[in-house]
Amino acid sequence: QVQLVESGGGLVQAGGSLRLSCAASGRTFSRDAMGWFRQAPGKEREFVAAISWTGGSTYYADSVKGRFTISRDNAKNTVYLQMNSLKPEDTAVYYCAADSTLIPIRAMKPRYWGRGTQVAVSS
């Protein structure tokens, strides 16, 4: 059974940092592209960041460029999202996702989803 389990969410003050982790199991994700999405209350889910299986290509939403960094450790089947200079508008449930290529991730239709981790940023 394929599983993506996010962790690292929490409550932080504006300007602070958090690092999210997504541990994958049930499949060899080392060859998969992976991504992060988020959904704020009352809003649609949106793309945050994506990374190729080699880690050589990364993509970011304009709203997080320069503040968030996506990375991966294929030996640990884990992808990370380092979030710096957090703003109240970053408050959302953050979801990890995976698929065989970046195309479905960037189209917001990845095959595999995690259950999400809550991030709350206070002003």
Closest by alpha carbon to 19, among 68, 64, 56, 57? 68
pLDDT tens per residue, range 103-120: 999 999 999 999 999 999
- pLDDT value of position 123: 94
Reading the block at residue 117, the tokens are 């981790």
1 burial type by CB count under 10 A (0-12 exposed, 13-18 middle, 19+ buried): exposed
- pLDDT value of position 27: 76
pLDDT tens per residue, range 47-99: 999 999 999 999 999 999 999 999 999 999 999 999 999 999 999 999 999 99
**With 90 as the cut, is the pLDDT of residue 1 above it?**
no
In three-state secondary structure terms, 85 is coil
In three-state secondary structure terms, 90 is helix
Q: How many residues does the chain have?
A: 123
